[in-house]
Chain A
Amino acid sequence: MKPFRIFIFLLSVLLLLVLLALFFPREGISLGGDHRLSFVSLPELNGRDTTGISSVNVEKLLSASTVTEDPESEPEPKQEPEPKQEPEPKQATELKQAPVPKQAPVPKQAPQPEREPKKEKSTPKVIPANTDSLKLSVHRIQLTDEGASLLQSWFRNLEGMSTGNNRNIRILHFGDSQIENDRMTALIRYRMQRQFGGTGIGLVQAVPLYSGSLSYQQEEHGDWLRYTYFGRRDSSVAHKSYGIMGAFASVPIPANDRWPSLYYRFNTSRRGGQVQRIRLFLHSYVDSATVAFCVEDRYCDTISGIPDGFSVVNFFHVEDMNSVRISFNLPEGGRIYGISFESEDGLLMDNIAMRGGSGLIFTSMNQEVQQEMLENLSPGLILLQYGGNVVPYMHPGYYRRAFKRQLQFFKEMCPGTPVIVIGPSDMSVRVDGHFDTYPGLEAIRDALRDAAMESGCGFWDLYEAMGGYNSMPSFVQAVPSLASADYIHFNNLGINLVAEMFYNALMVEFDDYESNRSGR
């Protein structure tokens, strides 16, 4: 067979395909349900061949920057403004530590909120995100006067911490699966702890979705079970006392004198693994419950007489623990709402991820337990990062109203605490072989922003910060890739890039605050 005949053969195939593309219905042929036959159209063939799209090459950018998959692998700065560590009495323990008194917010002139101009959606083609600008330019947090005032009050406390006026300042970072497994939080925490002092990973669930991290490893002994209010709820749980993490672990009933326990081994070479204090949020069903802490399986301390109902058990150790075993003697069982691994001083930041969550559960859960936890944790700043899970399903107007109720909840529970809402990232849906931003995503982003602005909170527009309309395909196709192949979730590198962008945005506000203060 001669090459020219082969050429004619291929040409015939091509001509037939062109004819098919010309005459095949643009809307496809329905096969019932969501299934339909489709074929590429000639205009699409000209302009929407996504297989040929050049990926955003961020390799150079990432190799030049400090963003890595593991923020703690970055070199520490030589001079670090660590607050002085005050010596603690050896193995002090206490029950129900009194909440740290909050400082009243000081009103202050707030900068005008910046609004990003809305991008044109005239073309369905992928618009590659300009990752240079992602890293180098700062996408500002949008703040109302009230929000700015609260934030500056927090900055004052932050400054006070380095002068010894405040020992701990806490940031609660709530979010959906985008921040699961300490993603995003880890980098912000690391940066802030490096700047303002502090160690420890903060709140973790007793039976977490991810067992351990680079900072610690966990083993559970006994029949521990995890229950969540978000996602699919276990119908056997009649109450709504899930705590501020929206989840609890049921403490097994001791059997044959063997107490159920949780064993933690810390990686003390990492900031997250340097732990001097443990705070346990639990609920016992009967009086006289006992919890034992054994550091390195040698230094043991038993805390008895824990009353029924909600309690906070604190445990101190004079130096970083390499490992600790927490054993529970709760005769009728109980619940653990969270365990916090902390340093005595400095900044603490908690990662509270709710897989599949939309951030609307706080007002419908039992508020008493949440209030007790929040009072004890005494957060200085609250971050709420939601929106992605409601994009295909929820009306923006309803979401705005429902989310406002959640913001109101936090304002009532933690008066004077600034709240920053972080909007959803870009998410793609596949249409005829190419990727487009989910319809309705911008409306949900707007709903969250409006809710934040109307509630006197801050808003950080992650969607615009990462490039806006159709930026997710650029993150997936970047080399190295910055997002998962589901075109929804960032990978570790991508989420760290986003985390650094948010950290930079927060620090710009802090710099503004310092400039204004020194200029006064």
Chain B
Amino acid sequence: MIFTRLFFWGFYMVVLLIYSGIYKQRAARNAFLFAASLFFYWKTSGLFFIILLFSTVSDFYLGNLIHYSKRSGWKRFGVVMSVCVNLLLLSYFKYSYLFVDTINSLFHLNVHVVNHLALMTNRLAGTHFEVSAILLPVGISFYTFQTISYTVDIYRGKVDPVKHILDFGFYVSFFPQLVAGPIVRASEFIPQLYKRYSLSKEEFGYALFLILKGLFKKMFIGDFIALNFVDRVFANPAGFSGFENLSALFGYSLQVYVDFSGYTDIAIGVALLLGFRLPKNFNSPYKATNVGNFWKRWHISLSSWLKDYLYIPLGGNRKGRFMTDVNLMITMLLGGLWHGASWQFLIWGGLNGAGIVVYKQWKKISPYENSNHWAARFWKIFNTFVFITFTRIWFRSESMEKANQLIRQVFHEFNARIIPEVIWSYRLVFCVMALGYFTHWVPGRWKLDLLNRFIRTPLWAKVLITVVVIFIIYQSWSAGLQPFIYFQF
């Protein structure tokens, strides 16, 4: 993650210093942040920033075409072009291998992927790009969805086009959220382009709290359990007992949350310090009481995007009960594929879709659906959490074979007798996992109370707290590897 690197914080301080001199001049501010974002993207992705520029330029002019055309045909043409160009771009870079592999296995062929874009560039410009592989540009899944939302929102009349291409470029490439979201809607962000900079002391405290929280979640919890336990098991599920596999699965459920939400926390905090408000992306997802509720709390910017730009255009719930379920399944299957180009992600999306569809029927007959008793609520949260964790088998496994191995180990090689020994040997990992889940499941008012206390502390105390938190994170980051333990089973 780029936010955990020293390079990023050096870059950010330089940006802040220059920003301090120009933040009052709106046009210069936006142009500078656009340039800084392009530099940031160039440092993380090299020449792929040309793809980002292409997406920016094409959607800017298509947005203008949609807005200023008098004829509805041209408006439709503009929006269809924008969606097609963005999806083709995304498909080319992300799904070529899946497509070719599927064709090969269906028709017993041996077709190889050729990067025609690189081939064409080499022929036209005399460059020497690699043509035998297609690499995925960083953040393409996020910024293509963002630009689609821009042109579609213009088409729907929800937002006016951005007046200057530099402003639009800034919206598309704003560095805190460029690499991994949140996916910012044009209607949420574009009005901010024309507002003056403002940041209250409370907002500063909130932003700093989010950054520290994000770093702690990612580096203290996520990296530690991944390096010392989860990655080892998922690399070779058949080499570990069922209990270790199950523990790694629940560990991964925590890791993926602290990684992703930690990233988003930092992105929101970093953007806020520059005066820009990004939408909330996570809301204690493992407190969800059903799968549908989970998706309203997990990666909110993506699930709401899929709802507004896929599920509702498909017909949503307007075409009867059966078609509602079909639309839901299509949305979740494509949402699964968005996360990664493999059959595992399709299965993962399908399971989540099935979870929502089944719950819709279950709640009609559930004896405790409307109960406010704590036990009923606990049961619902527990079931949802276990189901979501179960689906992560396919989300995390690098291949179907490994997913099957994990399931096999859990059901056939559980080996309950070694549980105490495993827990004792990996006690630090289990302690960190327990801390992660504890901090997630504590009542929201406790967290709010801590946030308010932090916000109220004077600036000098915030400096000290920041140093202490970084010091604590360093202890986890620099800790020796937990030894590899051999359990015979």
Contacts and interface: CB of A to CB of B under 8 A. Distances in A.
A135 B463 CA distance: 51
Contacts of B474: 38-40, 433
B486 A1 contact: no
B409 to A, nearest CB: 9
Contacts of A431: 480
B23 A3 contact: yes
26 contacts: A1-B204, A3-B197, A6-B16, A7-B13, A7-B16, A7-B20, A13-B463, A13-B466, A16-B464, A39-B474, A60-B132, A180-B236, A180-B239, A209-B239, A228-B488, A231-B488, A232-B488, A355-B488, A430-B478, A484-B236, A485-B227, A485-B235, A486-B231, A487-B481, A489-B236, A491-B236
A433 B238 contact: no
B239 A430 contact: no
A4 to B, nearest CB: 4
Contacts of A4: 17, 20
A431 B197 CA distance: 44
A430 B20 contact: no
Given A9-B462, A38-B474, A49-B6, A485 B231 contact: yes
Nearest to A480: B398
Interface of A: 1-4, 6-7, 9-14, 16-17, 20, 34, 37-40, 45, 49, 51-52, 59-60, 63-64, 69, 75, 177, 180-181, 209-211, 214, 228, 231-232, 355-356, 428-433, 484-489, 491
B478 A10 contact: no
B402 to A, nearest CB: 10
A494 B184 CA distance: 40
A489 B483 CA distance: 12
Nearest to B273: A6
Interface residues of B, number: 57
B484 A488 contact: yes
Interface in B459-473: 459, 462-464, 466-467, 470-471
Contacts of B13: 7, 10-11, 14
Nearest to B6: A49
A7 B199 contact: no
B312 interface: no
Given A429-B481, A430-B478, 15 more contacts: A1-B199, A2-B199, A3-B16, A3-B23, A9-B459, A20-B467, A38-B478, A59-B133, A60-B132, A60-B133, A181-B239, A431-B480, A433-B478, A489-B235, A491-B235
A51 B4 contact: yes
Interface string B120-137: 000000000010110000
B235 A38 contact: no
A293 to B, nearest CB: 24
Nearest to B463: A12
B415 to A, nearest CB: 11
Interface of B is mostly: helix
Nearest to A355: B486
Contacts of B440: none
A428 B231 CA distance: 16
Given A39-B471, A64-B132, A433-B474, A485 B488 contact: no
B7 interface: yes
B368 interface: no
B5 interface: yes
Contact of A2 (B20, B401, B480): B20
B102 interface: no
A186 to B, nearest CB: 14
A483 to B, nearest CB: 9
A60 B197 CA distance: 46
A3 B478 contact: no
In order of increasing CB-CB distance, the 4 nearest A-B pairs are A485-B231, A433-B478, A4-B20, A356-B486
Contact of B133 (A20, A63, A485, A487): A63
A16 B19 contact: no
Interface in B379-437: 399, 401, 408, 412-413
B488 to A, nearest CB: 4
Interface of B: 4-7, 9, 12-13, 16-17, 19-20, 23, 110, 130, 132-133, 197, 199-201, 203-204, 226-227, 231-232, 235-236, 238-239, 273-275, 399, 401, 408, 412-413, 459, 462-464, 466-467, 470-471, 474-475, 477-481, 484, 486, 488-489
B196 to A, nearest CB: 12
A488 B231 CA distance: 13
A242 B25 CA distance: 81
Contacts of B463: 9, 12-13, 16
Given A51-B5, A431-B480, A3 B467 contact: no
B19 A3 contact: yes
Contact of B478 (A11, A429, A432): A432
A38 B475 contact: yes
A37 B489 CA distance: 36
Given A10-B13, A13-B463, A430 B273 contact: no
B467 A485 contact: no
A53 to B, nearest CB: 11
B383 to A, nearest CB: 30
A452 to B, nearest CB: 25
Contacts of B110: 75
A265 B479 CA distance: 46
A355 B238 CA distance: 13
A13 B235 contact: no
A40 B19 CA distance: 30
Contacts of A6: 16, 199, 204, 273
A382 B93 CA distance: 47
A137 to B, nearest CB: 23
B412 A211 contact: yes
Nearest to A230: B488
Contacts of A356: 486, 488
A17 B470 contact: yes
Nearest to B475: A37
B488 A52 contact: no
A7 B273 CA distance: 10
A78 to B, nearest CB: 14
A358 B26 CA distance: 68
A486 B199 contact: no
Contacts of B199: 1-2, 6
Contacts of A488: 484
Given A16-B467, A38-B478, A1 B201 contact: yes
Contacts of A430: 478-481
Contacts of A12: 463
Contacts of B478: 38, 40, 430, 432-433
A20 B20 contact: no
A95 B23 CA distance: 89
Nearest to A34: B480
A36 to B, nearest CB: 9
B237 to A, nearest CB: 10
Contacts of B239: 177, 180-181, 209-210, 355
A494 to B, nearest CB: 10
Contacts of A13: 463, 466-467, 470
Given A75-B110, A485-B227, A3 B5 contact: no
B16 A10 contact: yes
